[in-house]
Amino acid sequence: MALTLYVDTARWRAHQKHMLEQFPGIVPVCKGNGYGFGHERLAEEATRFGSDVLAVGTTYEAARIKDWFSGDLLVLTPFRRGEEPVPLPDRVIRSVSSLDGVHGLVGARVVIEVMSSMKRHGVSEQELPQLHAAIEDVRLEGFAIHLPLDRTDGSDAVEEVIGWMDRLRAARLPLHTMFVSHLKAGELARLQQQFPQTRFRARIGTNLWLGDHEATEYRGAVLDVTAVAKGDRFGYRQQKAASDGWLVVVAGGTSHGVGLEAPKALHGMMPRAKGVARAGLATVNRNLSPFVWAGKQRWFAEPPHMQVSILFVPSDAPEPKVGEELVAHLRHTTTQFDRIIDR
């Protein structure tokens, strides 16, 4: 019995098709854990819909995925001098975000990232005059700009890209291809119309693979059910049951990513209040699990184990049966499934 990722394959692929229509020349991104599907599966999907390039996070990911995807591989993490060398085929394209990075990749295929309002990495405007000479020693595949998801200052993403297009053009740098991240379809169309000689290619991961939330579902199988009475002790720490009910052992533990949570940026009073409430409950060992039974998310009886979780289901709910499956609200990018089933 397992933690299973169920995929409505027809619906999932229909969403991919919709994204391909909205973003001509899309560059699918496959990084981390493959957005919950795994590198091999996403490489196969990218091949199926005819992508000529697949973006990965690191050189290590490129080395693993090269046997599953025959097109070009774009490594998103910028090159740094002194990094561990990883044997890679010539079809791998490296991202660079500094003048020194360009000088360190003589003869290589490169995409040059410019510094956006993300302020994460990228060449600066001041480096552009020197960049003109440096690119003579590399095979330039294009420039790239990685934009923020939220623009709380009211600024326009398209205007930010236009600003960089103007700077690059003023520096007499080739603008045949610009890779962009986090633009809407309409914004991309505006840019393509304004700069018809440049090919804009959207690098998309989350919205491509996970944009239709109803196309996928995690479920954990019930492995054991034990009745407990109020006051009974249980588990590793021998806590007392708060009331009558059942201890439900379900597939899915810390090795699957159950119980892991990435920090969130909270905006507004209500989300902050909920965060404070959750933190307060955690101090008294009350932690809500991602597993749903009888229409409600159930509480962990104790912290999740490596491969299973133990939930407490009160006696006013139906008794779960061994072999039944509980829906689990899990984050794809932090979850490892035991098996994937297409349906």
Domain spans in the chain, listed from the N-terminal domain onward: 7-211, 217-342
Q: Tell me if 326 sits within 8 A of 320, measured CB to CB.
A: yes
**Quick one: which H or E segment has residue 190?**
helix 185-194
- For 225-230, the CB contacts below 8 A with 24+ separation are 225/249, 225/319, 225/320, 225/321, 225/322
Q: Distances in Å between the alpha carbon of 120 and those of 83, 84, 109, 161, 199?
A: 19, 22, 22, 16, 24
Averaged pLDDT score across all residues of the chain: 93
- Averaged pLDDT, 189-210: 98
Q: Would you give the DSSP letter of residue 29?
A: B
Please report the pLDDT score of residue 247 as a whole number: 97
Whole-structure pTM value? 0.91
pLDDT value of residue 259: 87
Q: Indicate the residue type of 174.
A: P
Q: Which tens digits make up the pLDDT trace of 273-309?
A: 444 334 433 433 568 999 999 999 999 999 999 999 9
The residue written with tokens 């001098």 in the block is 81
User: What does each C-alpha distance from 157 to 47, 116, 176 come to in angstroms?
Assistant: 30, 10, 20
Q: Is a pLDDT exceeding 70 seen at residue 338?
A: yes
Whether 97 has a pLDDT exceeding 60, the answer reads: yes
pLDDT at 251 over 70: yes
Measured CA to CA, the distance from residue 66 to residue 343 in angstroms comes to: 28
Run of H or E including 342: strand 339-342
Would you state the CATH architecture of domain 7-211? Alpha-Beta Barrel (3.20)
Supply the pLDDT for residue 282: 40
**CATH topology classification for 217-342:** Lyase, Ornithine Decarboxylase; Chain A, domain 1 (2.40.37)
pLDDT of residue 94: 98
What pLDDT, in 10s, does the model give residues 141-177?
A: 999 999 999 998 989 999 999 999 999 999 999 999 9
pLDDT in tens, 28-47: 999 999 999 999 999 999 99
Residue, of 263 and 260, whose pLDDT is higher: 260
Helix (H) or strand (E) holding 309: strand 308-314
Looking at the chain, the whole-number percentage of residues with pLDDT higher than 90 is 89
The helix (run of H) or strand (run of E) holding residue 132 is: helix 128-134
- Distance (Å, whole) CA 84 – CA 101: 14
Residues 6+ away with beta carbon under 8 Å from 7: 37, 215, 216, 340, 341, 342, 343
Residue 75 banded pLDDT, cuts 50, 70, 90: very high
pLDDT for the residue 189: 97
> What dihedral do alpha carbons 324, 330, 334, 338 form, nearest 10°?
10
Beta strands in 119-215 (DSSP E): 139-146, 177-181, 199-204
Residue type, 2: A
Please report the sign of the dihedral spanned by the C-alpha atoms of residue 255, residue 261, residue 263, residue 265: positive
